[in-house]
Amino acid sequence: MVFPGRFSTGCRRCRQRKVKCDESKPACRRCYIYGKPCPGYTDQFHFRFDKSASKQERASPAQHCSKEVRVSCQPQPQSAQTSGDQAMLAPSRPAAIIPHPELSYEDLSLCYFVRRFVTPDEADNFPGHLSFLPALYNPHGHGVLEAATLSVAQMAAYNQFGGDKFRLQSYQNYGRAVRALRNTIQNEEEVTSDKVIAADISGEGWGNPSEHAAGLYCLLEKRGVEQLCTSRGFELFLLALLRLQVHSFLNEDDSYSDPGGMVALLSLFDPLMRAMSLMTKVLWLRHNLSKSPTSPDASCEPSEHPFQSVREVGFEALNASILQACFEALDEFDTWDFDAESYWKLTFEGRSVPAALGEVATKANYYDPETACTIILVRSARLVLLLSILEFHDRTQVLSNNDGSGTGCIIVLEQSIRLTIADMLWCVPFAMGDLDPNGQSVTMPHDGAAALTILQPLKLVTYCPYATHEQRKSVQGILDRMNLAIGVRSAVSWEERAGLKTAFPGTQGLIRAMTSLASGASSQAAERA
């Protein structure tokens, strides 16, 4: 804006009529002669905007509150005696209204997804949930990772906020991702890139029989040991391996639990990989227990069972060898709890350390979200093994004997199950970021990342026949929160899905066990009545 030079000091009407004003106060005589009331005089200083100013600034609405500013002006020679160096207060021009940029549906959904379902990349390289995504994602790219990420992000936004446009765009981007993946597979050089394996990032459908577990398994094998040389590759491998292990458990198929034997190899050096190796071993043992004969007359083909056949060693000896391997695995879990403490202190400085079974609540008052999620995952593998042993006993009565030692063993196993679940539930508020180190309630923006990580372990508890009523009720409340507050629509207990055709085959045995337990309790209540 510029000062226009000397201006007329007449009243506003005379200036408008372009006649000389007599400048009488409070009203000029010329207006009186003209027959109109004198509108008075304007302020001394006026500014006009330069023609290069934007139309938006010239059209600013007057309803914005004006702020007074001090303006210093050099006096004109003609008015030096009257004005001098006097500083006057003049109202500033109203602030211009600048419209906010309109975000697209893609940007809105992507911001929501990253904020809620992606853990920050920590300095100690502790594996998180999709923490590699911001570095890999190219906002200007149109590859398989970008299309898959947008598809998942838009569906997450739809689940939380609704809006058919989110869902429609999610389906469209899903089709783009599939086409891009097909084109990438044809290129041998690109198929092993981090972006390809990172494209498989949706956590809700884990374990679905229609998912491409075989393709993911082959991709991990093709990437080889080299993928574990970087923190990003290590996290990608762990995330893909968790997905394969969930698939193996839910579908009673351990064919894809250890791609390339890398888990067993690296478990000798890394406790995190040792935990994954224990999960793999549990799936293998569960598969063996389910294939074991239930009576001395039952037959078992050598190709169907890794242990010796009944005719070679006898029914009791075969069952004893299977149980021996299971109890050795339980001892390995105890060893892992002990070794993990020193490993955490040396590698992840400042983080709380895992504790032994039943000591999670007393060993520390706070667990960081990543450590809490790790404890829940390891405890869930122990829970699967304990449930598999007791389910095997229900079929074979292998732990029943005359001296009563088998009964004591069963009691210990049931107590271990309840302690395992108690440790898991104690860690949930820390995993979800509900508590800070001082025990105060807080809100963690990326609670969805923890929800997807611990979803399947919690669903496992909902139909556990040996969990207490309070434990199952607590887990159901957590799943309801994941479903309604976070938008994870698959957060529904397997108990609720027991009668559906979509129930996974691996859950049927435990669901039947829970149903039997419930019917037995009802019968006892009827007898007492």
- How far apart are alpha carbons 209 and 195 in whole angstroms? 24
Instruction: Write down the pTM of the prediction.
Output: 0.73
Q: Domain for residue 380, yes or no?
A: yes
Residues 6+ apart with CB under 8 A from 290: 252, 388, 509
Query: Quick one: pLDDT at residue 206?
Result: 52
Q: Domain for residue 267, yes or no?
A: yes
What are the CA-CA distances from residue 145 to residues 175, 194, 416 (Å)? 12, 9, 42
Q: How many domains does the chain have?
A: 2
Task: Give the domain-ending residue among 31, 65, 90.
Answer: 90
Task: Give the domain-ending residue among 45, 67, 90.
Answer: 90
Query: Quick one: pLDDT at residue 96?
Result: 65
- As given in the structure block, the two tokens for residue 309 are 């056949």
Contact 432, 370 (CB under 8 A): no
H helices, E strands: number in the chain: 21, 2
Q: Are residues 61 and 208 in the same domain?
A: no
Query: Quick one: pLDDT at residue 101?
Result: 61
Q: Domain for residue 154, yes or no?
A: no
Query: Quick one: pLDDT at residue 276?
Result: 92
Query: Quick one: pLDDT at residue 17?
Result: 83
Q: Domain for residue 124, yes or no?
A: no
Q: Domain for residue 184, yes or no?
A: no
- How far apart are alpha carbons 236 and 262 in whole angstroms? 14
Query: Which residue positions in the chain have pLDDT lower than 50?
Result: 1-4, 45-89, 207, 301-305, 310, 499-529
CATH number at residue 49: 4.10.240
DSSP string, 44-111: S---B--TTS-HHHHT--TTSPP-EEEE--PPPGGGHHHHTT--EEEEPPPPPP-PPPPPPHHHHHHH
Q: Domain for residue 96, yes or no?
A: no
Task: Give the domain-ending residue among 90, 118, 153.
Answer: 90
Query: Quick one: pLDDT at residue 183?
Result: 87
| Radius of gyration of the chain, Cα coordinates, nearest whole angstrom | 36
10 Å Cβ neighbour count for 173?
22
Q: What are phi and psi of 350, to 5 degrees?
A: 90, -10
Query: Quick one: pLDDT at residue 439?
Result: 85
Q: Domain for residue 162, yes or no?
A: no
Residue range(s) defining the domain that contains residue 69 = 12-76+85-90
